[in-house]
């Protein structure tokens, strides 16, 4: 698990438009709310995305952006963004590499088959690239409001 005070692992992933987004590009400029979710179009995924989307402007007033990450492909993200009116970038991590680095990827075995999925996790990363808050096993409802309060305290 990653802990507050640690440097956030850098990454580069494609967004819904297939443009590359690199975490280090925000260093020195903006705080980043990085959250991992299991899948587009799931009840929890919809709730979390909409609640973060409703707070994009408030987060921007505190120099913060939101990035959502799942193993869905770019086209699925594009459809999800359009259908739900999401106002921030969703990044595609199809192999789970970045999710694994953030300890958000979980595996379990069903019979002889190993399955992978993302456990909802959120990280508040400051402008210096340090993790200020790390949450694992997140409950979607109300989480974005909690994160906004934490970002407001970053100054």
What backbone phi and psi angles, to 5 degrees, belong to 47?
A: -55, -50
pLDDT in tens, the chain (155 residues): 999 999 999 999 999 999 999 999 999 999 999 999 999 999 999 999 999 999 999 999 999 999 999 999 999 999 999 999 999 999 999 999 999 999 999 988 888 888 888 999 999 999 999 999 999 999 999 999 999 999 999 86
In the numeric block, the tokens 């705080």 are attached to: 31
> How is domain 12-152 classified at the CATH fold level?
Glutaredoxin (3.40.30)
pTM: 0.94
- What distance in Å separates the CA atoms of residue 83 and residue 125, rounded to the nearest whole number? 28
* Domain boundaries, given as residue ranges, for the chain: 12-152
Question: How far is residue 125 CA from its own chain's centroid?
Answer: 11
C-beta of residue 106 within 8 angstroms of C-beta of residue 98: no
């Amino acid at each position: 698990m990653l802990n507050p005070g640690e440097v956030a692992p850098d990454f580069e992933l494609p967004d819904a438009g297939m443009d590359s987004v690199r975490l280090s590009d925000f260093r020195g400029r903006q705080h980043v709310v990085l959250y991992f979710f299991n899948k587009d179009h799931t009840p929890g995924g919809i709730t979390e995305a909409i609640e973060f989307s409703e707070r994009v402007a408030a987060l921007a007033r505190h120099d913060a952006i939101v990035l959502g990450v799942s193993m869905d492909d770019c086209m699925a993200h594009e459809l999800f963004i359009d259908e739900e009116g999401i106002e921030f970038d969703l990044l595609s991590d199809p192999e789970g590499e970045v999710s694994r680095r953030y300890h958000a990827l979980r595996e379990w075995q069903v019979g002889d088959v190993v399955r992978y999925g993302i456990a909802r996790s959120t990280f508040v990363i400051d402008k210096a690239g340090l993790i200020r808050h790390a949450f694992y096993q997140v409950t979607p409802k109300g989480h974005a409001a909690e994160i906004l309060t934490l970002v407001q305290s970053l100054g």
